[in-house]
Structure 1
């Protein structure tokens, strides 16, 4: 049995997507709590969940189309959905459907977007210190 193949019980081996998503949601959730008014948390949560569900379903559709040899959803569309906030759904879909997990170029772009979301959330919690420092450095370098 390979590390990528199914186990005897039919379940796939690999990273448990829910645990990874949960850990990766800590910073964005903390930023939402910090910056949004209390009533905004619910709307942000609904929006985030909706984008993730849309992205999850897009991955499922693309996987099914690939299996049937039909027209596929462009990778740029899948990436845009993840970039707009649907990355948790994309991550779960990649693991559940075993879709787009072996293509390194796709994974590189995907994880860069996840890291961008983490960076924005973390930097916002620290008063945008890193971003201001980068802009200061660039202004000084260009002057």
Structure 2
């Protein structure tokens, strides 16, 4: 049986959620251009919150999608700040060897 450790599992999870997040933003952008059914903002923000924030910001900038839409853009930035704060606290606590 193949056993992977927590760092590899976390890395795999983050990779998967970021790919999914980018694809969701890209799909929503394309649907907006043809006035089709859209992905709810709550879904996009939830994907960012559960770990897809880097891909959400990348997609937002690269695709020029929801860059001026408030409160969406501000909420996305707050999610990024929360992730950065959490990571900083974990590093300060020695949770991850640097």
The normalised TM-score by structure 2 is 0.85
What are the equivalent positions in structure 2 for 1:4-19 lying under 5 Å apart? none
Which of structure 1's runs of 4+ aligned residues deviate more than 4 A?
Answer: none
**SS across alignment from 2:71:** helix
> How well do the aligned residues superpose, as a CA RMSD in angstroms?
1.4
What are the equivalent positions in structure 2 for 1:1-143 lying under 5 Å apart? 39-127=5-93
The normalised TM-score by structure 1 is 0.59
Aligned length: 90
Q: Where in structure 2 are there 5+ consecutive unaligned residues?
A: 94-98
Q: Where in structure 1 are there 5+ consecutive unaligned residues?
A: 1-37, 128-143
1:124 to partner: Cα distance: 2.2
Bigger CA radius of gyration = 1
